[in-house]
Structure 1
Amino acid sequence: MSVRSIEARVNPVYLTAKTAVCLMVQAGIPEADKIVHALALENNALLQNMTDAETILGNALVVEAKYRTMCRLIEASGYQTCVDLPCGYTPKAIYMVEHNRNFVGLDLPIVVGEAGPIIRQLAGSAENVSFHGVDATNYTSLKKALQGCVGPLCISTEGMMMYFSDDEVDNVIANIQCLLREHGGCWITPDPEYALQFCGTFRAVFGEESLAKLMATKDEAQGQSAVAALGNAFIIEPTDIQNSQARAETLLAKHSLKVEKVNLGEHMPELSVYKQFAPEQIVRFKEAMHHCHYWVITLDEAKEIQTDRPREEQPFELQYTVKKGILHLALHGRLDTISAPKLLLAWEEANADGSIEGVRIDCAQLEYISSAGIRLLLEMQENCSRHIVFSGASVKVKEILQQKGFGDVI
């Protein structure tokens, strides 16, 4: 089994990043077509799950508005270094090089391993462009990736936060707060209002009935990536805007962060995709975007900033034995995007002949489990006739396991 196939099984959400760059081609964003060609995605297979041409066009409109507005806001921040988390397969690095900025792309290892060489070549192998595989919940991986950065950072996050559980999103915000404390700068994201932008776009451009198509697209995307979206304390719910917005702001305040909301309609440039719409559709879309915002997040100096930095996570290690059809595992450190492939390799090796009936996992030294680790444990469970049994788990790990439906935690 290749490294890439292992990473793909552990992190299926990377397919949504490929879908995004295909939509950029539909919108006419420069250089996106070259990236798609290098990825051999010209047949638009990733877009075929969308219900019809109208749905593809609506998604392309959202993607271009998001991409171009983010580029404009990064420039307006005045900071020299853009840290794109996640960077995906977009041509943002090329744009930043053309505008004399440093670019640091952070994403899943499978994404940066594939996108990094392609985009660096298109950017002229510029020395101020780099890519690093990280897990956003893993502070050590983020710190290592940014250790060579000088000066304040403009951290941009598009389309990531909605894929996390509440526990994970809390970890990510804590990590970004620490990066801002160490380097200075700001964090720009449309993610809290991402659902509002999507719903507002489809309603304004195509009418109320288009929202059913939008939800079908969401379901297809989740099936494609095997990851649920739009369901944590940082995401504003279109059906409960006031309360969910207050909840998101409270979450930021908990981490000594404050937010300035930048009106999307006022900062969105003219879009290439407009040529595919009727004038009245464009007018309605622009009006709808005046009700959406990008969040520019900074340290709240008026509050006492937490001084406890996240401790350095222990390297992931595992040991296993097989006795009478039972796989006995001992896990150490964090089971996340970076380490889950090691567990998958061990599982495939131990169960090569399909003889494993059950799994017992010693969690006494396991510090954390991310959604990538949970997906792998669920895959293991599906291939066993007995339930996985966990022992020695900390309160935090036990809570995560039980929330995901694992009942045998002792």
Structure 2
Amino acid sequence: MTIETERNSQAQANPVFMTAKTAICLMAAADISDASAIVRCLGLENHDPLQNMTDPDVVLGNALVVETKYRTMCSLIKDSGCPICVDLPCGYTPKALHLSKAGMRFIGLDLPIVVQEIEPIIRSLAAGSDEISFHGIDATNYESIRTALQNVTGPLCITTEGMMMYFDAHEADTVVSNIRAMLEQHGGLWITPDPEFILQFFYTFRSIFGKDSPAKLAASKETAQQQSDVASLSNPLIVNPDDIIRSTKTAEDFINSHGMKVKKITLAEHIPNLNIYRQLTQEQIRNFKTAMSDCHYWIITLDEQRQPADNAEQQATPFEMNYALENNMFKVSIGGRLDSLTAPQLLTAWEKIKTTSMPVGAEIDCAKLGYITSAGIRVFLILQKALGKNLTLTNVHSSMEKLFIQKGFTVPPLR
């Protein structure tokens, strides 16, 4: 199969990477240093990822949120006292350039499809900096993270910005366990705006658009869901604006259950001056700054008084896949993890088989499947769309059976 076919498989399995291209286009709209250069290198001069935002106000509101997060996070990272920033996910932002100029080491972790694009661009703009590196990983796959950091020493400032909301509850649990493991091994802290990302959008749009904000927020949410192919931007870590007190406690308890503790930074006290203010009225700026008093970024560290629950997922066996076309049936056996790193391989195998003969059905043996993420489910759904009821999952473990049935798959009883 060609490199283009493999890349298409990565894109179909992991469409959430498109939200990162939206973010860099919004940064360019906010005139953030080096953002326009990255946009040009990506061939996005027409700002294609923003085409679904037909209302200029929606673009303005999103650009305000994105610039606020970028500049505030950069400031907090530099003030963290850690010499190394591990940006998970790094996306397409110029953060590596900004932090390396400030004397920090930058390690960008993201999906391989993102790293393959952004690494040569940043290197071309960084004038050969040795303090910047990139690695393709899956945030739920600790082995991929451990490998990326195997030669790293010193406390880490781990950042997750615009990622946690795209996981379901099980994936979020695994990712937080992985972040704790990183802190245990290297020391440092975790900074994230993600728990209150909905609040930041809500307060931002309400402060500058008033009574028109609900419709503009709805348009923003619809665009995010379409680009990421995620139906619900929610899990136990995400604060719900409709029930702030209860959901905040749920999110804090979630962090505590992983042996970590939370310190909250009031956003209004840490926002640097923003370029996007030039597009706002003085009243809108005042309203925005006041609204950010109710929004926080979370700084998370290990809590020596708490012991996290065991995470069996860390011991998952390596990925393996065997497939063949038998009697015009696509037969596959999968072992280990089917995640963002491995799910594209299944899709590429499907595309290869189709070039010979379109199968009438598929049977996927899940006897050795130890862990599956939304990327794996998405590839199964692609096969299901092509084959309808002629896709069958066999030997499904009880821990996954309910998930597959909810997604509409045929799951025969274990023999």
Q: TM-score higher than 0.5 here?
A: yes
For 1:328-343, what aligned pairs fall within 5 Å after superposition?
328-343=331-346
1:158 equivalent in structure 2: 161
- Give the whole-Å Cα distance in 1 for the aligned partners of 2:405 and 2:261: 33
Q: 1:288 aligns with which of 291, 310, 321?
A: 291
Q: 1:186 aligns with which of 157, 180, 189?
A: 189
2:68 equivalent in structure 1: 65
Preserved contact between residue 155 and residue 188 of structure 1 (Cα < 8 Å)? yes
Match status 1:324 vs 2:324? no
The structural deviation recorded for 1:309 is 8.1
- Give the whole-Å Cα distance in 1 for the aligned partners of 2:398 and 2:180: 25
The structural deviation recorded for 1:297 is 0.6
The amino acid across from 1:106 in the alignment is: L
Task: State the TM-score, normalizing by the size of structure 1.
Answer: 0.96
Identity percentage of aligned residues: 50
- Give the whole-Å Cα distance in 1 for the aligned partners of 2:212 and 2:351: 46
Mark the runs of 5 or more structure 1 residues left unpaired by the alignment: none
The amino acid across from 2:45 in the alignment is: E
2:380 equivalent in structure 1: 377
Residue-by-residue CA offset, 1:42-73 (whole Å, 9 max, x unaligned): 11121111131111011000000000000111
1:132 equivalent in structure 2: 135
The structural deviation recorded for 1:393 is 2.1
- Give the whole-Å Cα distance in 2 for the aligned partners of 1:143 and 1:116: 20
1:115 equivalent in structure 2: 118
Indicate the RMSD between aligned Cα atoms, in angstroms.
Answer: 1.6
For 1:220-239, what aligned pairs fall within 5 Å after superposition?
220-239=223-242
- Give the whole-Å Cα distance in 2 for the aligned partners of 1:308 and 1:335: 17
- Give the whole-Å Cα distance in 2 for the aligned partners of 1:117 and 1:375: 29
Cα gap change, 1:306/1:183 in structure 2, threshold over 3 Å: closer, same or farther?
A: farther
Preserved contact between residue 169 and residue 236 of structure 2 (Cα < 8 Å)? yes
1:22 equivalent in structure 2: 25
- Give the whole-Å Cα distance in 1 for the aligned partners of 2:365 and 2:143: 24
Preserved contact between residue 367 and residue 397 of structure 1 (Cα < 8 Å)? no
- Give the whole-Å Cα distance in 2 for the aligned partners of 1:405 and 1:374: 11
Deviating 4+ runs (over 6 angstroms)? none
Cα gap change, 1:308/1:231 in structure 2, threshold over 3 Å: closer, same or farther?
A: closer
Q: 2:396 aligns with which of 387, 393, 398?
A: 393
Residue-by-residue CA offset, 1:66-125 (whole Å, 9 max, x unaligned): 000001111111000000000000000001111000000000100000001101221222
Secondary structure in 1 aligned to 2:389?
coil
Residue-by-residue CA offset, 1:198-247 (whole Å, 9 max, x unaligned): 01000001113222122112112221332234221111111111111111
Q: 1:258 aligns with which of 253, 257, 261?
A: 261
Q: How many residues align?
A: 410
Mark the runs of 5 or more structure 2 residues left unpaired by the alignment: none
- Give the whole-Å Cα distance in 2 for the aligned partners of 1:56 and 1:317: 43
Preserved contact between residue 100 and residue 106 of structure 2 (Cα < 8 Å)? yes
Cα gap change, 1:46/1:131 in structure 2, threshold over 3 Å: closer, same or farther?
A: same
2:46 equivalent in structure 1: 43
Match status 1:174 vs 2:186? no
